[in-house]
Structure 1
Amino acid sequence: MTMQEVDELEEWFKNVELPKPPVMLFPGTQIADVDKFLEAQFTSLRVDPNSKPNAPILYRLKAFKLLIESNL
């Protein structure tokens, strides 16, 4: 993932109505504070979007995006 793609994904989250917490992302994975969740995920991605440890972060963000899109 390029920095431009990270920026585009972050911009998408800024321009959509975010769900009210708590949000069940996966079984056993609950988002209690959506703003803090997004901030933490994007902070890590901005450091090195292509590092292996960031792969799960990208997966969670894409899953969260799909969840929001499916409820629009």
Structure 2
Amino acid sequence: MAQRFYFDLTDGNTIIRDEEGVEVDDAQAALEQAEAAVQEMRADGELAGLRGSWKLLVRMSTDTVLTVITIP
């Protein structure tokens, strides 16, 4: 059964919450989607303006953080 996962951006002080999320079959698929999202944001130049140490939080609908991806 599909689950909804959310990808939030944070620098430790500011958090940009993903209110829409993605629906995927499992946690592994969510991690793959998160990696793809970072690559897409990088390719589109969306990460160019970020200063400091930003991370992408992959969280479940229960707000449990599944993993944290550092955005270099």
| TM bracket (short chain) | 0.3 to 0.5
If the length of structure 2 is used for normalisation, what is the TM-score? Answer: 0.32
User: Which structure has more helix as a fraction of its residues?
Assistant: 1
